[in-house]
Structure 1
């Protein structure tokens, strides 16, 4: 029985050490592969000629100053609308009520 237990223990120890070694080798190989891939991509990017960026928004000539002013006016109106719709009316009302209450309390204390 002791020989069988010794053999089984040795087999388990040997197989677990070999499994850990193989797993470690695979992890190192994957890490090295990723590092080499990254280095290759960096070197290939350095060898490519620089690309000329495309003009995403081409220049559009304005027909007149009036049209430009109209566009700016519309942008300002849109901005004011976005600002006004983003306001919290309840918070503003409460702060105004608090301010009026403070003024009323100060007037009341003075008289």
Structure 2
């Protein structure tokens, strides 16, 4: 079966690894076969969560043809807080002209 494993080690940096795995392969099998953890040793398996098409799944979850496996790192900043800081850095709300 064909699947792809996706990982973003840093913002705007995405690695996609297409794989051909035997039927019955699990998330764990896909992550090991991708080699992404060996290329990024500073990310341990404990610091990452696994998902299939954006839905968190356990490592023993069986995969299906065409699945997209995602290695998800923890957030450094809460998305709402990041948005608030960007807005504030742009000068906040600007008055509308009449």
TM-score, length of structure 2 as denominator length? 0.24
Between 1 and 2, higher relative CO (CA 8 Å, sep ≥ 6) is seen in: 2
Larger proportion of helix: 1
Larger radius of gyration: 1
